[in-house]
Chains A and B, each alone.
Chain A
Amino acid sequence: MRKLGATAATGTVLALALAAWTHQPPRPEQGGGTISGKVKFAGTKPAMPKIDMTEEPKCKAKYQGVPTEETVVVNPNGTLANVFVYVKSGLPASYTAPAPSGDVTLDQDGCRYHPHVLGILVGQKLAIKNSDGILHNIKAKGVKNRPFNISQPTNMVSERTFTAPEVMVPLECNVHGWMHAWLAVLPHPFSGVSGADGSFTLKGLPPGTYTIEAWHEKYGTQTASVTVAGSETKTADFSFAGK
């Protein structure tokens, strides 16, 4: 995904020049608007259950203290991480996504998934990596996509692709019942995940009015309507409340 953004950016200059010259509107992925924002967290931060990794000393050794589940990760600055923000609707019907460049990697390290929430394009390769060198199985429980459940008993990489847009495809390991990740399969690259500072950025949007959805595994979804024109940057902040 990051790579995609970079490609889009390098293409921008050329595209703008071309557009000026031909008086054609720029293609969506060239130039375009930006939506960015922060995901705030209000209320009390729930205590995350500790994960007992006694059965897996190799994983246990990767942590200083006792690792916890990642269902709700509140950042030090009071924002919420692992919120998937994406364009839910509003793209012109004629929009076609650029061909995916590069793979998306999901790593199993310390008996947790990295990242915990991720996006992928339809048809793009998901490289599932086992850095732990112990038995994991990876089960994708899509509904619009066919599921799969494969095993990785050692350090290795397996690849899979997805055929239909779906938010979310739950991923899990059954050997380690605490391991969960969430994969969003989208027909376009306009998505981001709130990081360690709670911010996200969607770049390269064609002009239009969009429904932006923010998805969190525990707190559900919120939407915002945002209109972007040209290459302006608009802000859309979200706020989830702990219950």
Chain B
Amino acid sequence: MTKRAFACVVVLITAASTPLTAHLSPLTLQDTTRGKAVYVKWCAGCHGDGGAGDGPSAAHMLPRPRNFTGAIYKIRSTASGQLPTDADLMRAIDEGLPGSAMPAWKGRLSDGERRDVAAYIKTFSSFFADTSQHVAALKFSSAPGGGTDPSALKEGRRFYEDSIHCNKCHGDEGRGDGPSAPTLKDDAGFPIYAADLHQNWRFRGGGTVEDIYRRLRTGLDGTPMPSFSDLIEQKFLTDEQLWRLAQYVRSLSPPGAPEVRDVIHAPQIAGTVPVSPDDSVWARVSRYWFPLVGQVIRKARWFAPAVSGVWVQAVYDSKTVALRVSWDDRTQSPDTAWLKFEQRILETVAADDSAPPLQAEPWPDQLAVQFPRHIPDGMERPYFLMGSETDPVYQWRWTSRPRKSVAGLARSIERFDTLPGALAGEASFDHGEWRLVFTRALATPDTANEVQLEPGRAIPMAFFAWDGSSGEHGSRMAVSTWYFLALDRPTPPGVFISPVLAMVVTLGLGLVVVRRAQRRGAARAGV
């Protein structure tokens, strides 16, 4: 992989979004010569020197970088098929396109640079110079009253599933698993996922109800996602009803984008821990979000992870811990309906520089939870990417077919040795969501290999996920960094120096170490 390509990936991983600003004058007044210099330095690696979306790192991405020569843009305030306004372009550049490799440039580039580069990308297509092109923002109404009350949401839901049938693509519960989903392609013929409507923080055009309403009005050009504006003109539904639909879609995601916290707190419960993922206990336990990224350190690298993160909950009783991991996955792999889609993914996403595209196979879905073999006293932990020969990690692994859970030691991505004795795991799949519960005794006889789960300690933990129907297996997977599991002791009142406080101090230092270890790992892998 080229240096530039790797830089792009790093940008992708660290991309953060920033708020929208007002724009002052039309971009035609900007300097396209300066804009070109910015472009060549910051954008061409992905978007290509000629703006055709074919930079050196483009082949690793899904979705691919925009091809500017066609002037077809996803995030617009204009009608389907029209050019974007200057403000639309500035918004995309300033805030990036969440859920894709396109970073937010506000804060990295000055106001002037961003405006110059926007003016420059317009020169890639003659449409922008064509004065007969009609570029006018649609008039958007504001949200009606009644907002998110149940009757409003119910009306929205009715349009979603009964009268418009968004579920054909987005699935009955909105996780992008509708019957048409495995056939979807973008205009360039690349496979495209119907958006998971439970992850509004990954919507390209923003996750507020206003953003959603606008995308329904404009569609996302170049993708299968159509515009629904004609339906208002034709009185199929009212503008207010389209708002209800947007509100329904918004209600599928959590109120705020999930905050990534470093420590999962597991309360101790009376009685015994739930072994089923659908036990009512879980509804009362807080859940924690851990983002996953593509495994891009070791070959074969994987740049298009299908699982963007996992929700984790944990509880324990006097003897046992139960860990519930849930994640969105369109398919209960292996699923033959998705084999062709998987083939297209493997052909589209170049895994490594030289490897030929793989043949689609009916891989299962997989999930792994990783611990060190011993809770470390200091800050050192095994290498986060499945340990090493000298310092293996202890893992729980689950596969969807055969449906089973095992515990074992990993010494690298390639080497996993099962430990004797079964691991209890129970999973259910429902409309694009896996819910999996692992249970294990806090203390086990094999203290040399199996982490002993002691309440009050910060137990390092990491996650890995594979979506078989996206061609993921082996090193083609989604990974997290180290986090911590804390089995909280019911703290008697009056005890001020809690173990948790101690842990947070440790954590601050710990993160530094993780970063350093990752960097070392990356260096070792020869990136």
Contacts and interface: CB of A to CB of B under 8 A. Distances in A.
A137 B234 contact: no
A163 B163 CA distance: 33
Interface in A113-149: 134-135, 137-141, 143, 146-149
A153 B236 contact: yes
A150 B70 contact: no
Contacts of A152: 230
A14 interface: no
A153 B80 contact: no
A138 B236 CA distance: 17
A134 B169 CA distance: 14
Interface residues of A, number: 25
B163 A149 contact: no
Given A137-B224, A139-B224, A176-B180, A149 B230 contact: no
A135 B81 contact: no
B260 to A, nearest CB: 34
A164 to B, nearest CB: 10
Contact of A55 (B82, B164, B179, B226): B179
Interface string A167-208: 000000011110000000000000000000000000000000
Majority SS at the chain A contact face:
loop
Given A151-B164, A151-B231, A176-B180, A146 B81 contact: yes
Contact of A156 (B169, B227, B236): B236
A163 B236 contact: no
Interface string B55-79: 0000000000000001010000000
A140 B226 CA distance: 11
Contacts of A137: 224, 226
A158 interface: yes
B132 interface: yes
B179 A147 contact: no
A149 B82 CA distance: 11
A243 B404 CA distance: 49
B170 to A, nearest CB: 11
B81 A149 contact: yes
Given A55-B179, A174-B180, A149 B221 contact: yes
B227 A147 contact: no
Contact of B180 (A139, A141, A150, A175): A175
Contact of B80 (A134, A149, A163): A149
A158 to B, nearest CB: 5
B184 A149 contact: no
B187 A153 contact: no
Given A55-B179, A135-B164, A147 B184 contact: no
Interface string B214-236: 00000101111111111100101
Nearest to B235: A156
A146 B226 contact: no
B226 A149 contact: yes
A138 B223 CA distance: 12
Given A135-B168, A137-B226, A149-B219, A154 B81 contact: no
B34 interface: no
B429 interface: no
B184 A174 contact: yes
Given A153-B165, A153-B236, A163-B132, A174 B81 contact: no
Nearest to B180: A175
Nearest to A159: B230
B183 interface: yes
A146 B127 contact: yes
Given A55-B179, A143-B70, A158 B230 contact: yes
Contacts of B164: 135, 151, 153
A216 to B, nearest CB: 20
A234 to B, nearest CB: 37
B110 interface: no
A174 B223 CA distance: 9
7 contacts: A143-B70, A146-B133, A147-B221, A150-B228, A150-B230, A152-B230, A174-B183
Give the 5 A-B residue pairs with the shortest CB-CB distance, closest first.
Answer: A174-B224, A177-B183, A148-B81, A137-B226, A151-B226
